[in-house]
Structure 1
Amino acid sequence: MTGEKFEELYNIMKRLRKECPWDREQTHDSIKGATIEETYELIEAIDEKNYDEMKAELGDLLLHILFHSVMAEEDKHFNINDVIDTIKEKLIRRHPHVFGEVKVNGTDEILKNWEEIKLSEGRESILEGVPKNLPSLARAYRLQEKASKIGFDWSNKEDVWKKVLEEINEMHACEKLNNHKKLEEEIGDVFFALTNYARFLGINPENALRITNEKFIARFNYVESKIKESGKSITQSSLEEMDKYWEESKSKL
């Protein structure tokens, strides 16, 4: 049943490429931004635990997988069966403890084996495979995570916290040097160190910052609504007035 539904959807996509002028005009480059957008919409649905929306967004993302696959098939690069075969073979190859005779003792050993298998596949570095276009905070987290899998890591979180404080002090000292490029580097070091500390606490910093962004929006919207109730616009209010409602919002949101 699932196979039939999948094939039906794939054929719909192929028909759209032939009969719909808009779909026919698209290229990998023209829809790649929408592919990223659909991924973020899925993440938003996951964050909100909105399973109806998650179902819809997974469908949108699947559509993009099929869209790219159909275009590649038209250009004779590969087709959807090649996509499926590639991921199937990768899953089997990278899980020898499930599909082979390898014995492991826990997740840490599985992750270390995973990185060793990737190197055996031709990668030059453990850090390969972390996309350059990832948001920088998420990329820092993944780089640290991958290095950690093969033992390149701090021994305890207190040392990581000391490193955070060290980087903050270096940033503050650099601020007085009137060297913008160096200050930019030092601020980057602070973010990198703080990302590492979050990882030691079991917190994904990208998720944490996304939560804080939403909290800021909710509280600022509260400030705007209160000022609007007073008959003024946000641009007409004073900082003291905005601060009053901001503090009020903290007990409500």
Structure 2
Amino acid sequence: MGRLLTIMQRLRDPQHGCEWDVAQTFDSIAPYTIEEAYEVADAIARRDMAEIKDELGDLLLQVVFHAQIAEDIGAFDFKDVVTSISDKMERRHPHIFGDAGHSGHHLWEQIKADERRAKAANGALDGVALGLPALLRAEKLQKRAARTGFDWPDEEGPRAKIDEELREIEDAGPDTLAEEFGDLLFAVVNWARHRGIDPEAALRTANGKFERRFAAMEAEAGEAFAALDLDSKEALWQRVKHRDG
């Protein structure tokens, strides 16, 4: 860890460092941080241990990069980051590191809620990061609202909401169509949550399945694929889908 911190310090050195690294800010690095987190998730999905190792390293570098930027402006340093998360983990696990009973694991959400109140949050939805992918953020917003009792009692409510949103899309004009589609996606996320499904992971799996099957279509048809009419492409898709299971 010390070696990595030293490398980043040298890269960020104003006189002798890398020009690109010196020019970076929290804002410019944030998209890379998000990208690296998704590359870790992709490597995990593929169960590629070598890639998981490499991608975790890339993600760790992002943490070190942000910490060095903060140190450069006198805000905090990497040690402060480690201390903060260590304190948090001990605080949120009183049944392991404190004197709470072994069943104290149920205190996790209560402790998190107490911490949010201590930060003088304005409402239950405060603190859900704006930079999250929209699908994931929708789920987190719904979970936060559900903790206040604002939630359907069962899955029938969100399922009926999907039908309602579909009707509103049919009736929408050009100025409201995009908004209504957003409402539909939000409702689908809500239904998935009630069914115990992670919508972000489900969509990631669907993306991967589409990529795999489309590539199989291209491989089977060869150079003639683009010239096939839609009916021929659909027939090819069904064959590929049947083989793919």
Indicate whether the TM-score tops 0.5: yes
Percent identical: 38
Alignment correspondent of 2:11: 16
What is the rounded CA distance, in whole Å, between the counterparts of 1:53 and 1:124 in structure 2? 41
Alignment correspondent of 2:90: 92
Q: How well do the aligned residues superpose, as a CA RMSD in angstroms?
A: 2.3
Gaps of 5+ in 1: 1-5
What is the rounded CA distance, in whole Å, between the counterparts of 1:108 and 1:150 in structure 2? 17
Is the partner of 1:129 in helix, strand or coil?
coil
Alignment correspondent of 1:3: none
Conserved 8 A contact 1:141-1:196:
yes
Structure 1 position 247 matched with structure 2 position 238 = yes
Conserved 8 A contact 1:115-1:149:
no
Is the partner of 1:128 in helix, strand or coil?
coil
What is the rounded CA distance, in whole Å, between the counterparts of 1:112 and 1:150 in structure 2? 12
1:11-50 C-alpha deviation (Å, 9 max, x unpaired): 2221232344243343333333222221111111122122
Question: Match for 1:12: what amino acid?
Answer: I
Of 110-119 and 6-15, more deviation after overlay is shown by 110-119
Structure 1 position 43 matched with structure 2 position 6 = no
What is the rounded CA distance, in whole Å, between the counterparts of 1:79 and 1:73 in structure 2? 5
Conserved 8 A contact 1:168-1:190:
yes
Conserved 8 A contact 2:213-2:237:
yes
Is the partner of 1:180 in helix, strand or coil?
coil
Structure 1 position 192 matched with structure 2 position 190 = no
1:179-222 C-alpha deviation (Å, 9 max, x unpaired): 22322222222111111110111111111111111111111222
Alignment correspondent of 1:142: 140
Question: Within 5 A, what are the aligned runs for 1:1-253?
Answer: 6-18=1-13, 19-22=16-19, 23-100=21-98, 110-172=108-170, 174-175=171-172, 179-228=173-222, 232=224, 234-253=225-244
**What is the CA-CA distance between 1:140 and the residue it aligns to?**
0.6
What is the rounded CA distance, in whole Å, between the counterparts of 2:192 and 2:205 in structure 1? 14
Conserved 8 A contact 2:94-2:104:
no
What is the rounded CA distance, in whole Å, between the counterparts of 1:24 and 1:235 in structure 2? 46
Residues 109 and 68 from structure 1, CA distance in 2 versus in 1: closer, same or farther, beyond 3 angstroms? closer
Conserved 8 A contact 2:217-2:236:
yes
What is the rounded CA distance, in whole Å, between the counterparts of 2:122 and 2:46 in structure 1? 39
What is the rounded CA distance, in whole Å, between the counterparts of 1:190 and 1:240 in structure 2? 29
What is the rounded CA distance, in whole Å, between the counterparts of 2:99 and 2:120 in structure 1? 23
Gaps of 5+ in 2: none
**What is the CA-CA distance between 1:7 and the residue it aligns to?**
1.9
Residues 104 and 120 from structure 1, CA distance in 2 versus in 1: closer, same or farther, beyond 3 angstroms? farther
**What is the CA-CA distance between 1:112 and the residue it aligns to?**
4.0
1:165-186 C-alpha deviation (Å, 9 max, x unpaired): 22222322x14xxx22322222
What is the rounded CA distance, in whole Å, between the counterparts of 2:161 and 2:106 in structure 1? 25
Is the partner of 2:116 in helix, strand or coil?
helix
Conserved 8 A contact 2:138-2:186:
yes
Residues 91 and 56 from structure 1, CA distance in 2 versus in 1: closer, same or farther, beyond 3 angstroms? same
Is the partner of 2:176 in helix, strand or coil?
helix
Residues 34 and 214 from structure 1, CA distance in 2 versus in 1: closer, same or farther, beyond 3 angstroms? same
